[in-house]
């Protein structure tokens, strides 16, 4: 069941991305020769509305083949329905159409999830949303959904206040006033001395939040849309920063260790669906859609960002780049990308056997 959900969800992401190219091509008057889900060899294909629609055996992507996109012949590049005949702004719209559609899809997903679950609203209460196994918090009896109202004599209203106060009691016992299901109780936590707390858990071994999900009425749909845009922007910053750090690390000799491929994504999808439910899994694919948009806009050959480099060259110089050179560069880029996907997949498999 999980593998079927994963394949369908990934196929939707790819289809939406390629539809972005397709739609942009149509509104700029470029003929789409083939729209394919998966990579060849073909399983089945049918021509309709001037385009061949194909389903292919390799479920690792998709493509939107434009007339004249990779052909240097003058008779094709001069035809008004070819990609090469369009001006740089039209080409840029076509090339970036997939990225824009992935961002739109992410916003739609986030908006839908928040419209159902409610929108996150910042409060003056610090709730525990996760307790690590064998942590000081678990030993003290802290539970998920507990509200930490006070640390010793200090009232707590923000997560930063809790973190700041607990840090004063490293290696000591600290008293907390906790609200649980409307009842108050005091708990003592033995804060361990640690040079660095586990990621996201703090010194007590808890994950905290001072935001709560607030249900909205149907006529407040605009609040859901606003939350969807904010969420897309938030993940854009997180993923963009991570990609930047990874690239900087590669140039400084640090090989990224946490990069995952299709197998890792499948494991994450299965884990989230089983542990947190269907809506959390859908939200996860919203994050993946943002990730797909950001990675695709990188200026690397064969990616949309690599193609936009040639469009900018044409815009600045007022002449097209050498088509044969562009084809060679993009083909080399594609081989490198496929090689990287293979290496990442091997890494995913090795991690499976190491556990």
Per-residue confidence (pLDDT) for residue 254, from 0 to 100: 66
What pLDDT digit, counting tens, does each position of 134-153 carry?
888 888 888 888 898 998 88
pLDDT value of residue 107: 96
Tell me: do 82 and 146 sit in the same domain. no
Model pTM score: 0.78
Instruction: Give the span between the Cα atoms of 32 and 234, in whole angstroms.
Output: 34
Residue 111 lies in a domain: yes
**186 and 154 inside one domain:** yes
What pLDDT is attached to residue 253?
63
User: How are beta strands 32-48 and 183-190 bridged, if at all?
Assistant: unpaired
pLDDT, one tens digit per residue, over 177-222 is 989 888 888 888 888 765 444 444 567 888 888 888 888 888 888 8
For residue 234, being part of any structural domain is answered with: no
pLDDT score at 101: 95
Q: How many independent structural domains does the chain possess?
A: 2
- 196 and 163 assigned to the same domain: yes
- Residue 226 is assigned to a structural domain of this protein: no
Q: Do 93 and 126 lie in a common domain?
A: no
Is 221 within the bounds of a domain? no
Q: Which of 173, 191, 214 is the last residue of a domain?
A: 214
- Residue 197 pLDDT: 44
Give yes or no: residues 197 and 276 share one domain.
Answer: no
For the beta carbon of residue 147, count every other beta carbon within 10 angstroms. 19
The answer to whether position 243 is within a domain reads no
Residue 281 lies in a domain: yes
Which of 214, 246, 277 finishes a domain?
A: 214
Phi and psi for 144 in degrees, rounded to 5? -60, 140
Q: Could you tell me the two tokens for 7?
A: 């394949």
Regarding whether 13 and 100 lie in a shared domain, the answer is yes
Closest by alpha carbon to 281, among 65, 109, 166? 109
Mean pLDDT over each residue of the chain, to the nearest integer: 83
Which of 214, 239, 273 represents a domain boundary (last residue)? 214
306 with 338, same domain: the answer is yes
Which CATH number goes with the domain that contains 129?
2.30.42.10
Point out the least confidently predicted range of 21-30, 91-100, 142-151, 189-198.
189-198
Specify whether the CB–CB gap between 152 and 174 falls below 8 A.
Answer: yes
**Residue 26 is part of which domain span?**
2-115+265-354
Q: What is the pLDDT of residues 249-298, one digit of tens each?
A: 767 766 566 667 777 777 777 788 887 788 888 999 999 999 999 989 98
Do both 21 and 52 map to the same domain? yes
Q: What pLDDT is attached to residue 38?
A: 82
């Amino acid at each position: 069941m999980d593998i079927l959900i994963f394949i369908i969800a990934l196929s939707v992401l790819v289809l939406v991305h390629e539809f972005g190219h397709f739609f942009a091509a149509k509104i700029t008057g470029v003929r789409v020769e083939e729209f394919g889900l998966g990579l060849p060899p073909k399983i089945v294909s049918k021509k309709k509305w001037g385009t061949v629609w194909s389903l292919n055996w390799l479920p690792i992507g998709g493509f939107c083949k434009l007339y004249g996109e990779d052909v240097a012949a003058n008779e094709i590049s001069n035809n008004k329905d070819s990609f090469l005949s369009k001006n740089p702004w039209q080409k840029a719209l076509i090339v970036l159409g997939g990225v824009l559609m992935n961002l739109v899809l992410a916003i739609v997903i986030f908006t839908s999830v928040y419209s159902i679950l409610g929108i996150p609203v910042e409060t003056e209460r610090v709730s525990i949303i996760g307790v690590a196994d064998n942590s000081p918090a678990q030993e003290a009896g802290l539970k998920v959904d507990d509200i930490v109202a006070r640390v010793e004599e200090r009232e707590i209203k923000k997560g930063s206040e809790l973190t700041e106060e607990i840090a004063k009691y490293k290696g000591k016992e600290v008293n907390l006033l906790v609200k649980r299901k409307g009842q108050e109780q005091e708990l003592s936590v033995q804060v361990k001395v640690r040079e660095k707390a586990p990621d996201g858990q703090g010194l007590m071994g808890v994950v905290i939040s001072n935001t709560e999900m607030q249900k909205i009425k149907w006529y407040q749909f605009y609040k859901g849309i606003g939350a969807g845009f904010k969420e897309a922007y938030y993940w854009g910053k997180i993923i963009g920063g991570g990609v930047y750090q990874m690239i900087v690390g590669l140039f400084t000799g640090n090989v990224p260790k946490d990069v995952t491929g299709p197998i890792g994504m499948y494991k994450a999808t299965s884990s989230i669906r089983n542990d947190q439910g269907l809506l959390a899994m859908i939200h996860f694919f919203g994050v993946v859609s943002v990730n797909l948009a950001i990675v695709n806009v990188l200026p690397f050959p064969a990616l949309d960002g690599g193609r936009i480099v040639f469009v900018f060259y044409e815009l600045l110089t007022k002449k097209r780049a050498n088509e044969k050179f562009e084809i060679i560069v993009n083909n080399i880029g594609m081989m490198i990308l496929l090689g990287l996907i293979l290496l990442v997949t091997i890494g995913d498999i090795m991690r499976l056997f190491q556990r």
